Structure 1
C-alpha cells in the first residue's frame, strides 16, 4: 500500500483532499481509482489507512478507514551529522539512514572535507537529499520524513549542538584503542524522546582539534566495534545498534 506524507497534524475529518504531487502520483503514476487504499502519514507521527472515494481532474478525495497501530519510529530522536563526504556518499547515508530510523540529517564542512559548495549548489543538493529522504520514508513505511539540513560553516554546526540532549562522537581512534562501552551505555540508559546527535567525520575522519571541541561541549567519544568503518557505513552501524537495543531488545524485556 502506498504511503503519502502530509505536512500537517492529524485531525479527524469527514474526508481528506489531496492535490499536487500526491494527486499526480495516485492518478497518473499508480493509476488508482475509487475503493483503493493508501496510507496518509501526518507530521505528528500519526498515520491512517484511507480509502479513495472520488477522483477529479485535480483532486483525490479519501475517507479514514483505520489508524495505523504499529509504531515505526525509534523511541529516541537520532540525528546523523556527517562531515561532507565526497561524491554521492551523502545520498547513500540519507537513503539508508532513513530506512533505519534516523530522525534527521545534518551535513557540515569538517576540517577534512574536500567538498566545497556555494549557496546555490548547497540549496540544490539539499532539495535532492530531501527528496531522497521522502522516497526512502515512503518505501520503509516511516511515520515521518527526516529533515535534511546542509550547513555553510562548521561554526554554524557548532552553534546547533545545544539543541540536543546527548552528543555522540564516532571517533576511529576510540575504535583503535578498543573503546566499546560508551555507545552501549548510552543506548541502555536513554529515555524515550531523548534527542541524540551522532557526529561522523568525512573521509580522513575528525581532526584532534574538532574532537577536543566536541569533548568540551560534553561530547562522548565512542568506538563502533573493532573495525574501522567508512564514513558512509558508520552511521548505519550506529542506527542498527540503536534499533537492536531500543526496539528488538526492549520488546524482549517487556
Structure 2
C-alpha cells in the first residue's frame, strides 16, 4: 500500500489535478513536495517510479509518482485523483480541558482516528496544565502535527483541526446559537449517553453536529457546569465508573463511531 502524505499546498490547482488519462498525466508538469512530505519520502527510501498517496485536506486524495530525488528535494507528478469520503457522521467537535503531562497528544491522535472534526483545548479552574502566549501556540502547532500524522495513518483526507488554546469561560462566552446537541460529560445530575444520542439534530447544511465538553482530572467546578448548562449543554454520563480526563471524550467518540451508519 503506498505511503499516505499530507501536503499543505492545494493540489486542486496543480497542473495534473484535472488530467483525464494516464497519458495526459505523464505530460503534466511535476512539482516539489513541501519539506515535511519530502522528508517522509526520503526516510521511506522511495525511488523514482514509486507511488505515494497525497491529500491536502480538501477531501480528495491523489495517486502521485516520484519523478526525481535529491538530498533536499523530492519531485512528484499527480497521476490520478480519487474522491473519497471517510468522515464520521455526525460532525463531532471535542472541547477538552487539557490534561496534564503528554496525555493531550493521545487525545488528539485517537480523536482524529475516530473521526472528530476539531478539538478545542481549554483551561478551567482546576486545570493542571496552563498555556499562554508563544507556549500555547507552539503546543497547538505540535498537536496539529499529531493530527496530521494520525490522518496519514488512518486514511482520513481531512485532518482534525486543533483550535487555539482558550479559557473555558472565554470559550463559552463566544459560543453562538446551538446548531446541534451539546453534551457536557459529567457524573452529576446527568442522563445516560444513550438517552440523548438518539435525538436527531441537523444544521442548516443538513449535517448533524455534536459538541462535547469534557473537564480536567478534578472535574469542572459547580459554577463552570452551570455556565455550560446555560449555554445549552446537557449533562451526560458514561456509566457507573469515573473515567480519566483522557478517556472520557474518546469513549464518546468511540460510541459515535461504532454507531455511524456508514461504518
Interval containing the TM-score (normalised by the shorter chain): 0.7 to 0.9
Residues 35-55 of structure 1 deviation map (CA, whole Å, 9 limit, x = unaligned): 211111122211122222333
- How far 1:81 sits from its partner (Å)? 1.0
Q: Residue deviations 1:128-179, cap 9 Å, x none?
A: 212211111111121112121242423331134227623221112246xx63
5+ long unaligned stretches in structure 2: 19-27
- 2:5 is aligned to 4
- The structural deviation recorded for 1:240 is 0.9
- Native 8 Å contact 2:201 2:209 kept in 1: no
Q: Does 1:115 align with 2:117?
A: no
Alignment partners' CA distance in 1, 2:239 and 2:63: 41
Does the aligned pair in 1 maintain the 2:201–2:208 contact within 8 Å? Answer: no
Partner of 1:108, secondary structure, is strand
Q: Answer whether contact 1:164 1:195 (CA < 8 A) is retained.
A: no
Q: Which runs of 5+ in 1 are unaligned?
A: none
State which drifts further: 96-105 or 152-161: 152-161
Larger deviation, residues 197-206 vs 222-231: 222-231
Greater alpha carbon shift after TM alignment, 155-164 vs 217-226:
155-164
Deviation at 1:189, TM superposition (A): 5.1
Question: Which has a greater percent of helix?
Answer: 1
Distance 2:111 2:189 in 1: 23
Conserved 8 A contact 1:41-1:143: yes
- Do structure 1's residue 222 and structure 2's residue 236 form an aligned pair? yes
Residues paired across the two proteins, number = 245
Structure 1 stretch displaced more, 215-224 or 157-166: 157-166
Q: Give matches, 1:1-254, under 5 Å.
A: 1-7=2-8, 8=10, 10-11=12-13, 12-13=17-18, 14-17=28-31, 18-26=33-41, 28-56=42-70, 58-68=72-82, 70-162=84-176, 165-166=179-180, 167-174=182-189, 179-186=192-199, 190=202, 193-246=207-260, 250-251=261-262
Q: Determine helix, strand or coil for the equivalent of 1:221.
A: strand
| CA RMSD, 1 decimal | 2.5
Question: Secondary structure at the residue paired with 1:162?
Answer: coil
CA gap 1:218/1:58 in 2 versus in 1, 3 angstroms: same
How does the TM-score come out when normalised to structure 1?
0.85
Alpha-carbon distance in 2 for matches of 1:155, 1:21: 36
> Counterpart of 2:22?
none
